[in-house]
Structure 1
């Protein structure tokens, strides 16, 4: 089949850069490089489907040409440029530049830009305000301060004068809990851009933040959970573009209760054994665009969440309208994950043109009894996905054994329980054009609740070949899930299932195993 005609879309306009996405049916990158022209002159040759044209002038109109397709785009206005060195920053990799960096950010006027030039800037937590751009240029490195005892703490909950709970600041695994501030904090802000060709490195390690995975740092009122690298809270119209993010203390990028978010053309990395270093976890967010990101992390690459039941009972804030495209998940526990903390629901997700290599799971939905009646995963679409050397391509696990009560009989019992306000639900899941090579454990392992079966699974054009040397492994994490190797499709507790155009090669045992499927 001939590739589709390239469709060029502007996805991020910045003061000195423009980012585009090509939609032509290829996955993450094309077979051959493409030539991109700016105002008639060759500006870039790339095979990537998401690319950035940098070094542009603010508030300037440009004609972008790709093949026979042209787009006219204008960069954003920039009223002033601030150099943190003028505020006292050294950029020598030794001096603490926190105060100088924060002074430059605080002094930046509306529609201004703080620009980090080449250098190594050591910093503690920074707080970004509305209507500014923060550019980290090529050769510039923002480095997290390695001491753990002098990072400020964000309280889990904020109250008004009458003691009424109003909003949340700190959040840890779906609960409003005190957390150390992130290296970059965007709180109650709008129109913020953080971009460039530089790097933000949290410099976390097992001798610092990664040493305590299950307990907070500090004592008593000063105890708080590990920080994120980037925290976005109660904000809107936020763009992160072009940068490399490395070695986060916990989740790398965590947007919470925010909307109109763009994350594009990023590198997100952490060692494979680093704890809870998820790549990008939108939680209770709406209208999120994720494109052109290369992940290699110690936990899930992308995890869509919406809090635990305690937060859902206070305010129902689902995650809605998420688009994920042209990303490469190279390593991690799960490539695209929904849950398990999704007590407010996750709706209207579209994942397309992505590449997964070496992840434990490909497409993964995880929940459990106790997440609540509003913990609904619905209208989830996966299309044109390529996987190689993935453990299990497609997982739905309704018995996920997280949290202190995760291994209790209530969570793990395979017999039906009464449906009540703690019962989650999953349905309307569609997979099309999913092609997987060297799969190790299972093509699909789908496990619904007996009292609340998965309602609506539609799979069309699903091709899986297995590694002949695969060892047994666990498709997902639950007491009732055995280790398997080269298992075909297993579906348990589901209804309205449609399977078309399946091709499984090298499986052991039954090709398709159905249990309580209506």
Structure 2
């Protein structure tokens, strides 16, 4: 048995060397996002089995995960520690990550959430939301959680983090839910995070939720949930900055990627925006909701966003900017380009009257400001509604640019609908609203 353990550790050390080689193989990716978070190699390696972990799908491994992470947190190995999860199904309750660690899921490894909701602790509402997103009061802690941590990597050989969300979806549907459901992965007040080469499946609520974070890379992930699973957003950067989301496939029951920044008076008071976010080479579908969304929680502001090279299929809305009176916040300097859509109900939608309120204390005169949104190079096939751009009469959406957009519809294709917007259009088919001034020449809007 001891000899087997020594051989296993030698193999793990070899794996660390292989991980270094992998970083070189993925050089094309890291030339894009390496300035956001550089990849690090961990020379200290432990396995969940060293702490009693059993991957039989029945044994509860909560203590094993918490013990292993406690060891990482308190021994402070130079360069951090890699926690290896070998093939198998490791049933566990929620657990917290710590700084200077890599959670590595081998091929065939599944970290599976227990369905016993009573074992999930409650945590305080997010200060920029003021209450749970679904229910007043607290909320259930996320399955994998981190608060005020840094230098963290979640990666592997496309192992799976499985939220077993059906029990939570049922509680939401039958109205027996008492508190807001847990996310699959939530990181708060954290920085220097890499999430890559992992499958996220059946989240109880939002899948990946970095909130109040900076320097976050999410790459080569697959996110899956049934089309009828409620509020299973794929990736929601929230009041976060310097975020890079790339090269991933998402198929869920809600928005694939949604940029947020707080809810009404609570988000306005917290005053932390989402900024400097890049989203590129994302493919997927979400028939009930949107491919790429901005909001509807936008009270802290959203600015300096680049979205490019997106492929959307069988989706309700392709690009959706959504806010409301009472939200406040400035939404500006957003570029969306090189988008392909197929079988999409609404190609482009801006709405100033979407989303509910946390309570009746919001200020209806806190109006959002939308200024400087460019959508360039969009090709759509089987699009029913090319565009609906509806701002707010007291706060029109300004400097909207549509350029080189070709949306092929069906016999039931609807005309563009616009209200309270200002901007320009160039090379758009079918031609949009008269509120968008026609420009001449080639290139994008001035």
Q: In the TM superposition, what is the alpha-carbon distance from 1:80 to its structure 2 partner?
A: 1.2
**Structure 1 residues 297, 490: closer, same or farther in 2, change over 3 A?**
same
Q: In the TM superposition, what is the alpha-carbon distance from 1:309 to its structure 2 partner?
A: 2.2
Q: In the TM superposition, what is the alpha-carbon distance from 1:155 to its structure 2 partner?
A: 1.8
Decide which moves more: 167-176 or 103-112: 167-176
State yes or no: 1:100 paired with 2:64: yes
Following superposition of structure 1 onto structure 2, how do residues 44-443 of structure 1 map, counting pairs within 5 Å? 56-57=17-18, 76-108=40-72, 109-110=76-77, 111-156=80-125, 172-173=132-133, 177-196=137-156, 197-205=158-166, 207-212=167-172, 217-218=177-178, 224-332=179-287, 333-372=289-328, 375-403=329-357, 421-440=365-384, 442-443=385-386
Q: In the TM superposition, what is the alpha-carbon distance from 1:76 to its structure 2 partner?
A: 2.7
SS of equivalent residue, structure 1 residue 287? strand
CA distance in 2, matches of 1:61, 1:120: 25
**Structure 1 residues 456, 179: closer, same or farther in 2, change over 3 A?**
same
**Structure 1 residues 78, 462: closer, same or farther in 2, change over 3 A?**
same
Q: In the TM superposition, what is the alpha-carbon distance from 1:424 to its structure 2 partner?
A: 1.1
Q: In the TM superposition, what is the alpha-carbon distance from 1:208 to its structure 2 partner?
A: 3.8
Q: In the TM superposition, what is the alpha-carbon distance from 1:491 to its structure 2 partner?
A: 2.0
Q: In the TM superposition, what is the alpha-carbon distance from 1:323 to its structure 2 partner?
A: 0.1
SS of equivalent residue, structure 1 residue 250? coil
CA distance in 1, matches of 2:16, 2:216: 23
Query: 5+ unaligned residues in a row in structure 1: which ranges?
Result: 1-15, 17-53, 158-166, 219-223, 412-418, 469-484, 505-510
Which residue is equivalent to 1:47?
Answer: none
Deviations 1:367-407 (A, max 9, x none): 111112xx21111101111111111111000111534889x
Q: In the TM superposition, what is the alpha-carbon distance from 1:170 to its structure 2 partner?
A: 8.8
Which of 486, 491, 494 is the equivalent residue of 2:418? 491
TM-score normalised by the chain length of structure 2 = 0.85
The 8 Å contact of residues 57 and 75 in structure 1, kept in 2 or not, is answered as no
Which residue is equivalent to 1:514?
Answer: 434
Which of 431, 442, 446 is the equivalent residue of 2:389? 446
Which residue is equivalent to 2:442?
Answer: none
CA distance in 1, matches of 2:130, 2:102: 24
**Structure 1 residues 99, 404: closer, same or farther in 2, change over 3 A?**
closer
**Structure 1 residues 340, 168: closer, same or farther in 2, change over 3 A?**
closer
Deviations 1:326-348 (A, max 9, x none): 00022241000001111011101
CA distance in 1, matches of 2:218, 2:186: 13
SS of equivalent residue, structure 2 residue 311? strand
Which residue is equivalent to 1:5?
Answer: none
Q: In the TM superposition, what is the alpha-carbon distance from 1:489 to its structure 2 partner?
A: 2.6
Q: In the TM superposition, what is the alpha-carbon distance from 1:176 to its structure 2 partner?
A: 9.0
Q: In the TM superposition, what is the alpha-carbon distance from 1:79 to its structure 2 partner?
A: 2.6
Q: In the TM superposition, what is the alpha-carbon distance from 1:467 to its structure 2 partner?
A: 2.5
- CA-atom RMSD in angstroms: 3.1
Q: In the TM superposition, what is the alpha-carbon distance from 1:517 to its structure 2 partner?
A: 8.3
Query: 5+ unaligned residues in a row in structure 2: which ranges?
Result: 1-10, 439-446
Q: In the TM superposition, what is the alpha-carbon distance from 1:62 to its structure 2 partner?
A: 7.6
Which residue is equivalent to 1:31?
Answer: none
Deviations 1:455-483 (A, max 9, x none): 11111100010033xxxxxxxxxxxxxxx
Which residue is equivalent to 1:32?
Answer: none
SS of equivalent residue, structure 2 residue 69? helix
CA distance in 2, matches of 1:516, 1:287: 32
The 8 Å contact of residues 217 and 243 in structure 2, kept in 1 or not, is answered as yes
CA distance in 2, matches of 1:233, 1:174: 19
**Structure 1 residues 191, 216: closer, same or farther in 2, change over 3 A?**
farther
